[in-house]
Structure 1
Amino acid sequence: MKKLPFFASALVLAPLLAACLLLAPNAQAQSVEPLDGIAAVVDEDVILRSELDRAVRNILTQYAGRPGQLPPRDVLERQVLERLILVRLQTARAQATGVSVSDAEVDAAIANIASQNNSTPEQLRQQLVRDGLSYPEFRNSLRDELMIQRLRQRFAQSRISVSDAEVDAALATQGNAMQYRLAHILVALPEGATAEQIATGEQKIEGVKGLLERGEMDFSAAAVRYSDSQNALEGGDLGWRTIDEIPAAFAGSIRGMQPGQIIGPLRGPSGFQLLQLVETRQGAQATSGGGMVTQYQARHILIRAEDGAEDGQAKAKIDTLRARIAGGADFVEVARANSEDTRTKSAGGDLGWFNADDFGPLFGAQVTALEDGQVSAPFRTDAGWHVVQRIGSRQVDATDENRRAMVRETIGQRKLEDDWNRFLREMRGEAYVDIRTGANADDATSGG
């Protein structure tokens, strides 16, 4: 199995802007807002009623002129509150695992967002003020989004891998680069759903399907009004995907569908779904970047570290392990017994074949400086302290490698989406959440 390149580290800043405008009330808002009603208690944190109201107003502003596409006020509040709860849980988990974002990094993200919108950071700030949004709250929300992206990146690095066999199989069936734009409606079911809950969910999804079949509502409006998915307020839009990025349960059916057609309801791990093929297009094949490039095969030992005392302890441990290897201990066995990279530990730290920059410039510089068979001195990256042993190198055709990298990326993104959504459901289910607004407030406590 090969670790994915750090695909999650490249920030997609346009979606960040949309997320921050929607979720401008953030985890730090209670420090600047006067005490008001509590909409929800999330573990040891709270979401204020004023935060929920502002987030709902942002949605209403976005749908100005299209109010008929929005669900009733109580349903809209529930959807928005769930988003706020998930943001709280993710940022809390990020902080607990040592994720942080500096002011300089927030400044850089704002500069990129402004550039993508053909403006300067100052013009962006002025536009936010004109739109009635607090610039400090926008910065705090952007910081939260960056933290969540880093948490997701760590998740991907530790849990998501794609084998060469999976890439080979995908390439063998790739035939063309057809892409599919999809949308879905989800009626969620809780973990361990009872027979009654399953029957209620099935009845709801069949009712939504009936509305669509009778032409009483288009798919996008139905998603906004009825879907339990996080992207409900975007009309259930799942974006453009290749066939490799579509779950196997849907992929076979999608190939034979025409734009506008709907399949389902299908039962999945999250609940019942309806899926619509919105449109198709022919994507571009990866043909650029030809020529020969050098790839490396290596294994490594990772000791994770944070700043302060833990960093010193990690450095002492990696120094000890390096001394053992220098004294004749087998690198593979030392890695299996001690490495904290859970993805490669059982394989003796084997990273497979990779390009020099796949794991970041610091790691790549260490590998390229070694001879085959040589072991590095301990060195530090954002992940922690490493010792790396270079096994070999080879020359490969970059055009073919680019195609393989793109396929590996798409498979990895599909796996990440499935696993990340499962992780979020587990985190939501385990959390203490006491919802204190809405008709079902008294019955909304979950987790423990």
Structure 2
Amino acid sequence: MDRIVAIVNDDVVLQSELQDETAAIRSKLEQAGATDIPEDELQKRALDRLILYKLQIEEAKKLGISIDDETLLSAMNNIAAQNGLTMDELAEALEKEGMSVDKYREQLREEITLQRLRNREVISRIQVTKAEVDNYLAHAEQNPGGREAYHIRHILIATPDGASSEEIAKARKQAVDILQRLKKGENFAALASRYSAGRQALDGGDLGWLEAGQVPSLFLSELAEMERGDVRGPFHAASGFHIIKLEDYKGGDRNIIKQTHARHILIRTDELTSDDDARNRLEQLYQRIKGGEDFAALARAHSDDKGSAIKGGDLGWVSPGNLVPKFEEVMDALPVGGLSEPFRTQFGWHIVQVLERRDFDATDEVKRNKAKLALRKRKADEALQLYLRKLRDQAFVETHLEDRY
């Protein structure tokens, strides 16, 4: 008979849920080479994860966050397409893994619900300033060795706030013992999952790929001297003692992109201008340009894109991905000096003329964009941990893991 292993506010965690979560975690850790973790340790970790999961689902309900069937179907279609499958083939693949389509659909509904909760309560509130990007890049440029990104595994032996000298000494000894075991060949993922207090412990301590500017300065100089597979530590910080393993790293390449200098005329469709009227008006302008009239003058007089109209329709230098796909498709097919026939996008009817093309070194621009994304991710990770801790601290949680019926 299924039994309750935890009470979480008005919800419960069942033994069957705990078994499924423990099995999923064990499977993932075994893929990383961690094969000898005691069952009771895995169960405690799995229970903590389930408790946080239940609290987030409950909070989403309180806030009225729900996922309709149309959104769910669209998400399933996207997942099938990304894997090169039809919906029927996706259903067959799920059944081979022992999961029904209905169960998968409800799991996906809950995953999307949690993502929307996190977006609303955490991620949407994250702001990254220009000064922060500048500081991030300055930090990255100080990176010894010129490496741009690192794939790292991590173990944290935590110490509490205001830890006593005895607590610090005990944590240091544990970290040194773990480092010695690693140097004797024990599996990093297994030790991380058992002993680390880091958020990625159940992923074998895998932090994934981090841009140089994301790496804590505590590790950066060490990583510059490490080779793939090297383990270093323990490093003492306010949170405790850290051990790292360098799985891989990347150097820096220039980012050269093809840019196009173009100008266009847009006639929008609305309540007063039908689709046929817009196309006919633009066809007349197209013929006038072909007949020798000045493109810029006609754009100033007739284009509905007011931002570019005052510049004679000039869009400036355009990088790939800056414009809607249909517009870029037509523009990219034109030679320098070429003028397109009228074509339609979601904004209305256009004609476009290509003025120049160039190879542009977008390395700095790409670096700034990557820096901004990395900073957002770092801030979001930190904010999410605080948010989840707050949910847990405010909740009524009673566990019965040790009960035996």
Q: Same fold (TM over 0.5)?
A: yes
Q: What does residue 251 of structure 2 align with?
A: 282
Quote the RMSD (CA, aligned, Å): 3.5
Q: Which residue of 1 aligns with 2:386?
A: 422
Distance 1:272 1:114 in 2: 43
SS in 1 for 2:48: helix
Deviation at 1:237, TM superposition (A): 1.1
1:112-134 deviation line (CA, Å, top 9, x unaligned): 22222222222222222222224
Are the structure 2 counterparts of residues 138 and 189 from structure 1 closer, same or farther at C-alpha, using a change threshold of 3 Å?
farther
Kept in 2, the 8 Å contact 1:246–1:414? The answer is no
Determine if contact 2:34/2:187 at 8 Å carries over to the other structure.
no
8 Å CA contact 1:189–1:271 kept in 2: the answer is yes
CA distance in 2, matches of 1:130, 1:428: 37
Distance in 2, Cα, partners of 1:152 & 1:46: 22
Pick the aligned partner of 2:128 from 149, 155, 162.
Answer: 162
Structure 2 residue corresponding to 1:432, chosen from 393, 396, 401: 396
Q: Does 1:183 align with 2:153?
A: yes
Any idea what SS the aligned residue of 1:186 has? Answer: strand
Counterparts of 1:201 and 1:266 in 2: how far apart (Å)? 11
Alignment of 1:14-413 (within 5 A): 36-61=2-27, 69-154=35-120, 155-158=122-125, 160-172=126-138, 174-175=140-141, 178-188=148-158, 201-215=171-185, 217-267=186-236, 271-282=240-251, 284-288=253-257, 290=259, 399=362, 401-413=365-377
Structure with bigger gyration radius: 2
- Matched with 1:326 is none
Distance 1:283 1:424, change over 3 A: farther
Shift of 1:102: 1.8
2:245 alignment partner AA: Q
TM superposition shift of 1:181: 0.2
2:149–2:250 Cα contact (<8 Å) kept: yes
- The alignment-based identity, stated in percent, is 33
Query: Quick one: distance in 2 between partners of 1:227 and 1:124?
Result: 36
Show the counterpart of 2:269: none
Q: What is the alpha-carbon distance in structure 2 between the residues aligned to residue 65 and residue 244 of structure 1?
A: 29
Q: Which amino acid aligns with 1:250?
A: F
Structure 2 partner of 1:376: none
Q: Distance in 1 between matches of 2:222 and 2:29?
A: 33
* Residue-by-residue CA offset, 1:284-335 (whole Å, 9 max, x unaligned): 5554374689xxxxxxxxxxxxxxxxxxxxxxxxxxxxxxxxxxxxxxxxxx
CA distance in 2, matches of 1:93, 1:190: 28
Give the secondary structure class of the aligned counterpart of 1:150.
helix
* Runs of at least 5 residues in structure 2 that lack an aligned partner in the other structure: 263-320, 323-359
- Give CA deviations for 1:26-71 in whole Å, capped at 9, x if unaligned: xxxxxxxxx7201111122111111111222334555679986241
Whether contact under 8 Å (2:136, 2:371) holds in the other structure is yes
Going from structure 1 to structure 2, the CA distance change for 1:203 and 1:46 (only over 3 Å counts) comes to farther
Q: Would you say how many aligned residue pairs link Structure 1 and Structure 2?
A: 304
Q: Which moved more, 1:268-277 or 1:204-213?
A: 268-277
Post-superposition offset of 1:75: 0.9
Distance 1:143 1:204, change over 3 A: farther
1:206/1:89 Cα in 2 relative to 1: closer, same or farther (>3 Å)?
A: farther
The gaps in structure 1 that reach 5 residues or longer are 1-34, 294-356, 359-396, 442-448
Change (3 A) 1:289 1:165: farther
2:297 matched residue in structure 1: none
1:425 CA drift (Å): 2.8
Query: Cα–Cα, structure 1 residues 85 and 172, in superposed 2: closer, same or farther, change >3 Å?
Result: same
With structure 2 as the length reference, what TM-score do the two structures score?
A: 0.64
Match of 2:274 in 1: none
Q: Which amino acid aligns with 1:438?
A: E
- From the superposition, tell whether residues 174 and 279 of structure 1 become closer, same or farther in structure 2 (CA, over 3 Å): same
Question: What amino acid sits opposite 1:166 in the alignment?
Answer: E
TM-score normalized with structure 1 length: 0.59
Deviations 1:176-213 (CA, angstroms, capped at 9, x unpaired): 66210011123455677777766654444333223113
CA distance in 2, matches of 1:228, 1:60: 18
Question: Which residue in 2 is equivalent to 1:324?
Answer: none
Q: Structure 1 residues 77 and 195, CA, compared in 2 at 3 Å: closer, same or farther? A: farther
Q: Matches of 2:261 and 2:148 in 1, distance apart?
A: 28
